[in-house]
Amino acid sequence: MRARIYPKRSDLSPDGKHLIYFAMNGRWDTKTRGSWTAVSRAPYLKAIALWAKGDCWHGGGLFRNAQRYWLNDGRGHEPLLTSSRIARIEDWHPRNSYGGECPHVYYNRLQRDGWTVVDDSSDDCANWSFVKPVNTGWMLRKDCGIGSELGQSIYFDRHALVRTDSDVRLELPDAEWADVDRARLAWAAKGCLHAAYLNKDGLKDARCLHDFNDMTFEAIAAPY
């Protein structure tokens, strides 16, 4: 597949077996109308369920459980392929609305996965903040924004560790992604995956789990 995938409109099923994603290649006169939502068997991209879209409003979706997913429809997906393995939920929608682009799927996904909104009074769908407890005394904060700095996605996240009993804040300036992995912090930065535990002073026993910088693209056909 040669197309752009929108990761903030995508989701992995809780059993890790299926992926729902939104993609665009701009070939508007093709069967998928230039953009589409697909469900595949992870980690491959070959669709087992496929919805033509035709524009970049809405698209993508969320898994409710291992076999059922919500389609971020909004403006007319056309079904091209269905699967007996998984099914679309048509009588459920996320509780919160964040417009017709990436935040609507992404912010609802964060809250489903244990993140809490810092302030829900904003009318700006692009700039929201979320927190998740790491361990006693520390919270991981995720500030979601929209921008256009060189090398930065239009939608981006900034991360910091904040103490719950003081105003101490430790920035994670290079972290493009971060989350809580049981009792430790995990984050991605500069092509590497890192992890560390926390004590009262901050990061403890930080280490690089894997360096992905030497990886190159290889086209691998799905085995189904």
In the three-class reduction of DSSP (H, G, I as helix; E, B as strand; rest coil), residue 54 is classed as: coil
Domain that holds residue 35: 4-98
Q: Do 78 and 17 lie in a common domain?
A: yes
Q: Do 91 and 122 lie in a common domain?
A: no
Distance in angstroms (rounded) separating the CA atoms of residues 31 and 203: 50
Residue 43 lies in a domain: yes
Residue 106 lies in a domain: no
- Which ranges of 60-205 does DSSP label H, i.e. alpha helix? 102-112
Q: Do 198 and 120 lie in a common domain?
A: yes
In the three-class reduction of DSSP (H, G, I as helix; E, B as strand; rest coil), residue 133 is classed as: strand
Which pLDDT value is given to residue 60?
A: 97
Q: Do 159 and 75 lie in a common domain?
A: no
In one-letter notation, the amino acid at residue 183 is A
Residues of the chain predicted below pLDDT 70:
120-125, 148-152
Contact 95, 44 (CB under 8 A): no
Q: Which two tokens stand for residue 46?
A: 């070959």
Q: Do 76 and 121 lie in a common domain?
A: no
Q: Do 37 and 86 lie in a common domain?
A: yes
Q: Do 91 and 144 lie in a common domain?
A: no
User: How many domains is the chain partitioned into structurally?
Assistant: 2
Residue 221 lies in a domain: no
Q: Do 8 and 73 lie in a common domain?
A: yes
Residue 218 lies in a domain: no
- Phi/psi for 46 (5° steps) reads -65, 125
Q: Do 207 and 119 lie in a common domain?
A: yes
Q: Do 167 and 138 lie in a common domain?
A: yes
Contact 190, 176 (CB under 8 A): no
Q: Do 119 and 93 lie in a common domain?
A: no
Residue 79 lies in a domain: yes
Please give the DSSP secondary-structure letter assigned to residue 120: -
Out of 43, 74, 98, a domain closes at: 98
Which pLDDT value is given to residue 98?
A: 87
Please give the DSSP secondary-structure letter assigned to residue 91: S
In the three-class reduction of DSSP (H, G, I as helix; E, B as strand; rest coil), residue 166 is classed as: coil
In one-letter notation, the amino acid at residue 147 is G
Q: pTM of the full predicted structure?
A: 0.90
Distance in angstroms (rounded) separating the CA atoms of residues 40 and 20: 7
Q: Do 8 and 33 lie in a common domain?
A: yes
**Where on the phi/psi map is residue 6: left (φ > 0), alpha (ψ -120 to 50), or beta?**
beta
